[in-house]
Amino acid sequence: MVDNFDIPDSVLQKIGTARHVAVLTGAGISAESGVPTFREAQTGLWAKYDPQELATPEAFQRNPRLVWEWYAWRRELVNKAAPNAGHQALVALAKLVPQFTLITQNVDGLHQRAGSQNVICLHGNIMETKCFALGHRITDWPESDELPPRCPECGSLLRPNVVWFGENLPADALETAVHAARSCDVFLSIGTSALVHPAASLPLLAIENSAFLIEINPQPTPLSRWADVTLSGAAGEILPLLLARLQK
Ligand code: BV8
């Protein structure tokens, strides 16, 4: 527990007087919900696969069943998970500031399940499915022992509605995220290794516009050198503490 953790006065002052707070989260904020982060070693039969290799259209075309089953395994983990105190603290933070933008790289939908509104999902949602050829959004499909199942509209293979490496992000989500990064006065980067672009460029856009940059992460990242303040620790512990100080 980090209850003796010292939240610098600069953080309280900057957030307490902010007009617009923007937040970018990564897989680390879901770690305390039991959802493995994207780059930590996978377990079981998936241990021998590199997520960055599997999360590509090439992997899906090479071995659609393998990629479909990897996502089915991850959906199971997400279904068993619940939002944690970090997700809930961001719901509370949104109510404290005049303007709040929550941008996530996560595909687990836990921010939405915690009650966050208007979440900008840069990389899609693992609980949603579309077809590979034409992007038909499909919510249910006839039982079949063929995996992946086929699109009832066009017959192409179904895939998760997530952004794979080499695929473009949803233009509207990215545009909204860039605009928020450019117009906020405080930017929080929480639980991300800051390696994946274009998400990783958002905090840099914010500091280009003189925003105050706060990073919350147990490990240093390529972003740490740019942060005005780095709070080193778990989001599920630091965020509730931050909210308790702000709500005093
Ligand atoms: C694109 C969905 C046009 C699928 C994902 C510019 C420079 C370099 C490369 C590129 C570039 N522009 C484009 C690229 C190529 C590529 C890229 O970024 N490659 C990098 C990796 C070299 N980007 C793309 O392909 C993007 N598309 O730009 O299209 C284009 C295309 C090609 C070439 C040019 C332009 C698409 C990127 C989206 C990929 N899809 N996910 C799926 O989930 O299966 S990304 C994947 O990584 C996840 O979504 C994840 O969210 C994301 C980022 O990872 P993190 O969230 O940061 O998770 P990670 O495990 O890495 O880190 C967790 C962190 O949490 C750690 O720091 C850990 O310390 C911390 N932590 C742990 N516990 C806690 C904690 N923190 C707080 N509390 C805790 N308790």
Question: For residue 171, what are its two tokens?
Answer: 């233009």
Compute the average pLDDT of residues 214-234.
Answer: 97
Compute the average pLDDT of residues 4-8.
Answer: 81
Q: In this predicted model, what pLDDT tens digit does every residue of 167-183 receive, in sequence order? A: 999 999 999 999 999 99
192: Cβ contacts below 8 Å, ≥ 6 apart: 24, 25, 26, 27, 28, 105, 199, 200, 217, 221, 223
247 burial via Cβ count (<10 Å: 0-12, 13-18, 19+): exposed
As for ligand 1, residues whose beta carbon falls within 6 Å of it are 26-29, 31-32, 37-40, 55, 105-107, 123, 162-168, 191-193, 195-198, 217-219, 221, 234-236
CA of 197 to the centre of ligand 1 (A): 6
CA of 76 to the centre of ligand 1 (A): 21
Tally of CB atoms within 10 A around 65: 12
- Strand 158-162 versus strand 124-131 pairing type: antiparallel
| DSSP tag of 219 | S
pLDDT of residue 72: 95
pLDDT of residue 145: 87
For residues 177 and 23, give the distance between their C-alpha atoms in angstroms, rounded to a whole number.
Answer: 10
Compute the average pLDDT of residues 236-243.
Answer: 97
Bridge partner residues of 190 (DSSP): 25, 216
Cβ pair 129, 159 in contact under 8 A: yes
Q: In this predicted model, what pLDDT tens digit does every residue of 147-170 receive, in sequence order? A: 999 999 999 999 999 999 999 999
pLDDT of residue 60: 97
Mutate to test the pocket of ligand 1, among 90, 165, 178, 232 (most ligand atoms within 8 A of CB): 165
Q: In this predicted model, what pLDDT tens digit does every residue of 40-78 receive, in sequence order? A: 767 777 788 899 999 999 999 999 999 999 999 999 999
Residue of 20, 87, 111, 123 marked active site? 123
Tell the residue nearest (CA) to atom 65 of ligand 1: 28
Among residues of the chain, what percentage have pLDDT more than 90?
88
The string of DSSP letters for 6-42 reads ---HHHHHHHHT-SEEEEEE-GGGGGGGTPPPSSSPP
CA of 198 to the centre of ligand 1 (A): 9
CA of 132 to the centre of ligand 1 (A): 21
For residues 22 and 24, give the distance between their C-alpha atoms in angstroms, rounded to a whole number.
Answer: 7
Nearest ligand 1 atom to the CA of 40 is 60
For the question of residue 87 being annotated catalytic, the response is no
CA of 36 to the centre of ligand 1 (A): 14
* pTM for the whole structure: 0.96
Mutate to test the pocket of ligand 1, among 24, 46, 169, 197 (most ligand atoms within 8 A of CB): 197
Question: For residue 136, what are its two tokens?
Answer: 């038909």
For residues 166 and 59, give the distance between their C-alpha atoms in angstroms, rounded to a whole number.
Answer: 12
- Strand 120-121 versus strand 212-216 pairing type: unpaired
pLDDT of residue 1: 45
